[in-house]
RNA sequence: GACCCUUUCAUCUAGUGGCCAAGGAUGCUACGUUUUCAUCGUAGUCACAGAGGUUCAAAUCCUCUAGGGGUCGCCA
């Protein structure tokens, strides 16, 4: 039983998706459940749009969660019960310290070179509380010893008790705080494995304090190191997209993104390509790396190219709709995509490749013209048109067109390049792209002749 | 500033004391295939952060130093 617990303050971050993936894989590997919980206890910072964006991103990559989404904001009554319980048991207490006093205390501690923390002044307070102050509730953390736990990634972690102060579990307005509700929910939802970013490492001892105070069973923790940029610094928008949905817009396939992310901080021998099924079969959180990894988009691009090549054409045609290419009903769909899908590393590039063929060239690349439209190119192209027009066999497949070319070469006693190059430029305006046979088969004989005629008209001499 | 985590090619990583004068992948550079581009194939390029120890033997264990990251909120 695992979970992903984002706070709805922005889009789904690429790093967040990796943690979610690790959790999801752990659950699926063990035939367990994967739950989604929204950490929205801070009402001031949440937004509906952010929540919708996160769910949408989950949808896109295909990580399914079990049961209903849990909203912490709807469980305040539950948390209140536990606060009252701790208060009644003397495991928590009211603190009347003002924010100003707290700031002053922190500043003084910093000045002395200490780690700032609450000094426990109201821990055993039984005097008269100051007037007009709404108290916060603090939990009693152990005052000596060390808090230990075994992290599934990092190994044994021991944090001295005096690093953990009596932290606030309820604000002065009565709302509960993060470390308190996380521990309660993780326990109540029955989580066995908590996989999260290692920026939470220091929250763990705090949450253990809550587990112990409430008598809950402590789950197994896994703290996954962050993803940095190529320079090893914190990943920012300048290093490329951090919003998961941005990858969709850039033409990445979700399976490529997931394959890329799973190999960031995890590996299984030398294997690079993992289908979702293989990931589920092979993933074990104990194999997660301790150290931070750097984000480098090259490999993602390579993976994306790989997955595009291996996606069925019908599926590709459907995906391409979002990129302005509607070829689902094209009668040469198979030839078209077979010819182009090895040339586009993203759906955006693939769309460009397709348009290059489907749309008659509006101009001819000057360099290509110089190279191809010379010598007797004009005459050869003209001859080719004539042959196409009088060809008696059907012209459907690339091989049909190839036969015409063969005949031309034979009759004129020329090399393939003599016709290939100018023909290519006539068809697409440049010296690149799929084979001319394929391209002619895709656009058909009429369009082929039209394009060649148009090109011939531009050739001087 | 204090505390915690971390350190193998440019990047992702394999590696748990001898199989490692360190393997795979991406990138990059050649060459081959291709009428072109791409794909694909072959080859090359490139690393154990540094210094001390322990040991017959260390990338692997220990110590220190340095780099990087994280945390110190009535945020999550």
SS3 state at A234: strand
Q: Is pLDDT at A132 greater than 90 in this prediction?
A: no
| B13 nearest neighbour residue (CA to C1') | A267
Query: Is A217 an annotated catalytic residue?
Result: no
Counting residues of chain A whose pLDDT is more than 70, the rounded percentage is: 99
CA distance A231 to A264: 15
A299 CA to B34 C1', in Å?
25
Region A263-268: mean pLDDT is 95
The C-alpha angle with vertex A245 and arms to A243 and A251, in degrees rounded to 5, equals: 120
Contact indicator for A340, A438 with CB cutoff of 8 Å: no
The answer to whether some atom of strand B lies closer than 7 Å to the beta carbon of A270 is yes
SS3 state at A385: helix
Strands A146-151, A34-38: pairing kind: unpaired
CA distance A211 to A10: 29
Q: Is pLDDT at A339 greater than 90 in this prediction?
A: yes
The answer to whether some atom of strand B lies closer than 7 Å to the beta carbon of A435 is yes
Q: What is the pLDDT of residues A379-430, one digit of tens each?
A: 999 999 999 999 999 999 999 999 999 999 998 888 888 899 999 999 999 9
CA distance A203 to A178: 9
Three-state SS string across A1-38, please?
CEEECCCCCCCCEHHHHHHHHHHHHHHHHCCCCEEEEE
Burial of residue A313 (CB within 10 Å: 0-12, 13-18, 19+) is middle
Of A70, A65, A72, the closest CA to residue A2 belongs to A65
* Phi, psi (deg, nearest 5) at residue A49: -60, -40
Region A311-335: mean pLDDT is 93
A295 CA to B23 C1', in Å?
23
The answer to whether some atom of strand B lies closer than 7 Å to the beta carbon of A148 is no
Segment (H or E) for A193:
strand A193-197
Q: Is pLDDT at A172 greater than 80 in this prediction?
A: yes
CA distance A297 to A286: 26
What pLDDT, on a 0 to 100 scale, did the predictor assign at position A376? Answer: 87
Say what the ipTM of the complex is.
0.94
Could you say which residues 190-229 of protein chain A have a Cβ atom less than 7 A away from any atom in strand B?
198-203, 225-226, 228
CA distance A24 to A252: 21
Q: Which two tokens stand for residue A241?
A: 């997209």
Return the residue matching tokens 């990943």.
A235
Of A208, A202, A201, A206, the closest CA to residue A223 belongs to A201
Return the axis-axis angle of helices A398-412 and A377-390, rounded to nearest 10°: 130
Number of other CB atoms surrounding residue A316 within 10 Å: 24
Which of A217, A237, A286, A393 does the annotation list as catalytic?
Answer: A237
* Phi, psi (deg, nearest 5) at residue A436: -65, -35
CA distance A46 to A405: 65
Segment (H or E) for A53:
helix A48-61
Of A37, A351, A330, the closest CA to residue A190 belongs to A37
The answer to whether some atom of strand B lies closer than 7 Å to the beta carbon of A73 is no
Buried b (16+ CB within 10 A) or exposed e, A401-438: bbebbeebbeeeeeeeebbbbbbbbbbbbbbebbebbb
- As a whole number of Å, the end-to-end CA separation of chain A is 77
Mean pLDDT of chain A: 93
A42, closest nucleotide (Cα–C1')? B75
Q: Is pLDDT at A461 greater than 70 in this prediction?
A: no
Q: What is the pLDDT of residues A12-58, one digit of tens each?
A: 999 999 999 999 999 999 999 999 999 998 777 778 888 899 999 99
Q: Which nucleotides of B are covered by protein (CB under 7 A)?
A: 1-8, 10-15, 23-27, 34-40, 68-76
CA distance A24 to A254: 15
Number of Cα atoms under 13 Å in the Cβ half of residue A152:
20
Region A254-281: mean pLDDT is 96
Return the axis-axis angle of helices A377-390 and A416-428, rounded to nearest 10°: 80
């Amino acid at each position: 039983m695992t979970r992903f617990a984002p706070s709805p303050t922005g889009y789904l971050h690429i790093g967040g998706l990796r943690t979610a993936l690790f959790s999801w894989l752990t659950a699926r590997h063990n035939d367990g459940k994967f739950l989604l919980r929204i950490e929205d206890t801070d009402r001031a910072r949440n937004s509906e749009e952010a929540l919708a964006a996160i769910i949408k991103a989950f949808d896109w990559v295909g990580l399914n969660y079990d049961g209903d989404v849990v909203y912490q904001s709807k469980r305040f009554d539950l948390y209140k019960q536990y606060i009252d319980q701790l208060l009644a048991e003397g495991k928590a207490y009211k603190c009347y310290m003002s924010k100003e006093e707290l700031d002053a205390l922190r500043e003084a501690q910093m000045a002395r070179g200490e780690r700032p923390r609450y000094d426990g002044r109201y821990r055993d307070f039984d005097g008269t509380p100051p007037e007009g102050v709404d108290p916060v509730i603090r939990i009693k953390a152990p005052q000596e010893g060390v808090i230990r736990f075994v992290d599934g990634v990092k190994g044994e972690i021991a944090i001295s008790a005096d690093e953990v102060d009596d932290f606030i579990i309820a604000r002065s307005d009565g709302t509960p705080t993060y470390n308190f509700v996380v521990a309660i929910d993780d326990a109540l939802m029955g989580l066995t494995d908590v996989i999260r970013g290692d920026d939470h490492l220091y929250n763990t001892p705090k949450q253990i304090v809550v587990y112990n105070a409430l008598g809950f069973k402590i789950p197994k923790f896994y703290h996954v190191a962050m993803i940095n940029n190529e320079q090893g610094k914190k990943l920012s928008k300048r290093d490329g997209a951090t919003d998961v949905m941005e990858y969709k817009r850039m033409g990445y396939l979700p399976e490529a993104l997931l394959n890329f992310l799973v190999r960031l901080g995890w590996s299984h021998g030398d294997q690079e390509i993992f289908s979702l099924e293989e990931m589920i079969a092979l993933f074990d959180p104990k194999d997660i790396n301790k150290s931070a990894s750097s984000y480098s988009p090259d490999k993602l691009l390579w993976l994306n190219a790989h997955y595009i090549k291996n996606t069925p054409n019908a599926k590709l045609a459907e995906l391409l709709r979002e990129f302005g290419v509607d070829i689902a009903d094209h009668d040469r769909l198979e030839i078209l995509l077979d010819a182009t899908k090895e040339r586009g590393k993203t759906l955006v590039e693939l769309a460009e490749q397709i348009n290059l063929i489907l749309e008659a060239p509006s101009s001819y690349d000057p360099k290509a013209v110089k190279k191809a439209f010379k010598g007797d190119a004009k005459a050869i192209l003209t001859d080719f048109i004539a042959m196409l027009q009088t060809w008696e066999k059907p012209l459907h497949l690339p091989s049909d067109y190839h036969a015409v070319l063969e005949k031309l070469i034979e009759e004129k006693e020329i090399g393939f390049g003599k016709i290939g190059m100018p023909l290519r430029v006539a068809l697409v305006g440049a010296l690149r792209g799929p084979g001319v046979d394929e391209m002619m088969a895709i656009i058909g004989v009429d369009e082929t002749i039209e394009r060649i005629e148009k090109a011939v008209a531009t050739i001087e001499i």
